[in-house]
Chain A
Amino acid sequence: MNRLQKIALYNIIVMVTALTLTVVAAAIAAYLKGLSAACPALAMLGLLGFMGLSPILFGGKPNKIDFDERDTSIQIKSTTIAYSVFWFLWVVGSIITWAIKRNSGNSISVEVLPLMVLAGFLVVNFVQSIAILISYGWGDKNVEK
């Protein structure tokens, strides 16, 4: 497993852990104090800050080649896929919301904004990480014994 794969796997673990903790915390907070969903969403963005530690945790070793043109190509592909999926979900989500809400006379709460930022961040990073892991394949099938 190379550096990019390790970072992708680490990011997935951080995102899943943060999401689980936030859902539990949000449920408890909503039950006890009736907090809005925006507060746990902002707290989760804070937890996702652990993703920023990946360059420190998986830093390259000096005098060792651990990133080349194929890694760059995979990184570009996975980023393109991630933003394409994000844009698709964004458009679909916006149209569905508009279709449901347009005749009701309601407006969207400002509390939704932090959730939108969180959802966008999660979609882009999660899809990118999965695409990286798939692009490399699971395991080295042509490794010399």
Chain B
Amino acid sequence: MSKSEEKIDSCFRRNDILKNQIRRLRFERGEMTQQELADKAGVTRQTIIAIEAGKYSPSLTLAFKIAQALGAQIEDVFQYEAENP
């Protein structure tokens, strides 16, 4: 993420970390492509790329859709970690 992207993001986002296992689960589910997952979840491929890279935290609805598309429980796909526990 570039410095300008970080600046814009830091103005709007809390310092929460949402880790995800999307990439691993995609490969475990028959090497599902980002586009296939995007189509199943009803979003663009760019959004899946951003979520995988941890640049975008999805809404709860989208998180459930992604988990459903991957055939997994939401807690297996996303893990919340507080930055300063």
Residue contact B53 to A68, C-beta cutoff 8 Å = no
Residue contact A135 to B58, C-beta cutoff 8 Å = no
Residue contact A65 to B8, C-beta cutoff 8 Å = no
Residue contact B33 to A136, C-beta cutoff 8 Å = no
Mask: chain A, 51-75; 1 = CB below 8 Å from B; 0 = not: 0000000000000011111110100
Chain B: CB-nearest residue to A134: B4
Residue pairs across A and B with CB atoms within 8 Å: the count is 59
A113-145: which have CB < 8 Å to B?
A: 131, 134-138, 140-144
Shortest C-beta distance, A70 to chain B (Å), equals 4
Mask: chain A, 1-39; 1 = CB below 8 Å from B; 0 = not: 010000000000000000000000000000000000000
Q: Within the complex, which residue of B8, B38, B43 is in contact with A69, where a contact is CB–CB below 8 Å?
A: B43
Shortest C-beta distance, A55 to chain B (Å), equals 18
A142 to B2, CA, bound (A): 14
How many of chain A's residues have a CB under 8 angstroms from any CB in B? Answer: 22
Residue contact A70 to B56, C-beta cutoff 8 Å = yes
Q: A70-B56, A134-B8 are contacts. A144–B43 as well, Cβ < 8 Å?
A: no
B residues touching A (Cβ–Cβ < 8 Å)? 1-2, 4-5, 8-9, 11-12, 33-34, 38-39, 42-44, 46-47, 49-50, 52-53, 55-56, 58-59, 62
